Amino acid sequence: MTDTTAHGHTSSTGISNVKLGMWTFLGSECLLFGGLISTYMLYRGRVTGGPRPSQIFDIPFTSVSSFVLLMSSLTMVLAVSAAHKGEDRKTNLWLTVTALLGATFVGGQVYEFTAFYNEGLGFSTSLFGSSFYTLTGFHGVHVTVGIIMLMSLVGIFKRSEVPGKKAEVVEMIGLYWHFVDIVWIIIFTLVYLIPV
């Protein structure tokens, strides 16, 4: 008997309902971020007041912050691998490291937002400012939700045994985390690297 049939339900395709649900959720998230990215692309050149992107973006700082987030994908892969092997201690370690890397990224984003605000770019300064803060802010919220999920898993796994489902749960959170990382690669490229 497979893990899926022993502990959960499957769809007619043989994919577990949990996995199918996560992929459906991520599909809806693609639509959300697609709309936000499209809006940013329409408004990124509309600077009627305040600084222009080229005047405030700190590409080296954001590149380091992006690298930190991308490294969290590696630690998430290690967490999923450890969960599939039943190595609880390593699973918790890698989940915690992933959350810490994510928190470092969010901290960098808060620092960056504060610096931009101090340089005159507020949410309502221009259409560029509004679309920039909305897009990157929504992404930051998604990373924060991921951090909360990761640390919740660590707490749950330390307090109780989740037989048979641990690897699948870690894998589903991993899908979400990788999605957030991929979205950031797109945002970083379009927002920071392509000039207006």
- At 5 the pLDDT is 43
Residue carrying the six token digits 């959960």: 8
- At 167 the pLDDT is 87
pLDDT band at 136 (very low <50, low <70, confident <90, very high): very high
Return the closest-CA partner of residue 173 out of 80, 91, 97: 80
Return the closest-CA partner of residue 50 out of 117, 115, 112, 137: 117
Q: CB of 38 within 8 A of CB of 188?
A: no
- At 104 the pLDDT is 98
pLDDT digits 0-9 by tens, 137-177: 999 999 999 999 999 999 988 887 665 678 889 999 999 99
| Cβ neighbours of residue 44 closer than 8 Å, sequence gap 6 or more | 53, 128, 131, 132, 191, 196
| Average pLDDT for 75-97 | 95
Q: CB of 132 within 8 A of CB of 40?
A: yes
Q: State yes or no: pLDDT of 4 exceeds 60.
A: no
pLDDT digits 0-9 by tens, 102-117: 999 999 999 999 999 9
Q: What is the mean pLDDT of the chain?
A: 89
pTM for the full predicted model = 0.87
Domains in the chain, start-ordered, CATH in brackets? 17-193 (1.20.120.80)
The C-alpha atoms of residue 73 and residue 32 are separated, in whole angstroms, by 22
- At 12 the pLDDT is 65
pLDDT band at 3 (very low <50, low <70, confident <90, very high): very low
User: Could you tell me the end-to-end alpha-carbon distance of the chain, in angstroms, rounded to an integer?
Assistant: 56
pLDDT digits 0-9 by tens, 27-61: 999 999 999 999 999 988 887 877 888 888 999 99
Q: State yes or no: pLDDT of 11 exceeds 90.
A: no
